[in-house]
Amino acid sequence: MKEKYELEFILNSSPRILEKMFSSPDGLGEWFADDVTVKDDIYTFSWDGSSEQARLIHHKLQSCIRFKWLADEEDGVNSYFEIGYNIDPITNQVALNITDFAIPEDKESAILLWNQQVTDLKRILGA
């Protein structure tokens, strides 16, 4: 059974740029996957010659985007991954919030993967 975990990172970026990085295939292809295509509400994420598909299940502009892997849908697993952010009105710092699910023995490697992807995002943003 997969368990939920949450991560938070501080970024230096504008909401407009973040929105593009999180919701467009081009933006996601810059930091999250090697390539991203979309047809209707199905996103295909490709890494190193393999690919996985996810359904867009929620998108709130300048707030969060949530996907569900099709493989999890087929298996009846109630999980998703969400990329969200909010801006501190006083400091203008952006808190990036990642919510994901992993089976317990894979959780540590999943967290390391998210850390690497967010490191790539920060490099691209210059943050």
pLDDT tens-digit map of 96-108 = 999 999 999 999 9
Q: Which residue has the higher pLDDT, 75 or 33?
A: 33
Q: Above pLDDT 70, what percent of the chain?
A: 96
Q: Which residue has the higher pLDDT, 47 or 77?
A: 47
User: At residue 7, does pLDDT exceed 70?
Assistant: yes
41: domain CATH number?
3.30.530.20
What pLDDT, on a 0 to 100 scale, did the predictor assign at position 75?
63
Q: 3-state DSSP helix/strand/coil percent for the chain, to nearest 5?
A: 35, 40, 25
Structural domain containing residue 65: 3-125
The per-residue pLDDT of the chain, averaged, comes to 90
d(CA 11, CA 19): 13
What pLDDT, on a 0 to 100 scale, did the predictor assign at position 6?
97
Q: Which residue has the higher pLDDT, 11 or 44?
A: 44
- On whether the CB atoms of residues 28 and 21 are closer than 8 A, the answer is yes
**Based on the structure, what is the number of domains in the chain?**
1
What pLDDT, on a 0 to 100 scale, did the predictor assign at position 93?
84
